[in-house]
Amino acid sequence: MPTVYVTAPESVAAELAETLVDERLAACVNAVGCQSTYRWEGEVITDDETILLIKTTDEGYDRLAERIEELHPYDVPCLERFDEAEMADSFGAWIAESID
């Protein structure tokens, strides 16, 4: 099942996480503070952001990704899917129950 890696401004991360769980697109979201370093208009800059690690099902991935792109304030959000190689069966079952 996918873990979706998204970065967002700190100011919107909590609300984004709550919306995705509330709409049953995500079973849970782990939000981690980070400093992001990248190039912007020719300069290397560093900003505070939040990494959201979002748990969903294989079937739920496309709807989740679409909804994140709708809600996200960036034109080009970091949105990547990583698939586990193995997981606790009970955790997989809980994710599946949590997604519509």
- Interface contacts to its own copies, rule CB under 8 A: 1-3, 5, 7, 14, 17-18, 21-22, 24, 27-39, 44, 46, 49, 51, 53, 55, 61, 65, 69, 75-88, 90-91, 94, 98
Distance from C-alpha of 67 to C-alpha of 58, rounded to nearest angstrom: 15
Query: C-beta of 26: minimal distance to its own copies in Å?
Result: 8
Query: C-beta of 56: minimal distance to its own copies in Å?
Result: 12
Distance from C-alpha of 13 to C-alpha of 6, rounded to nearest angstrom: 10
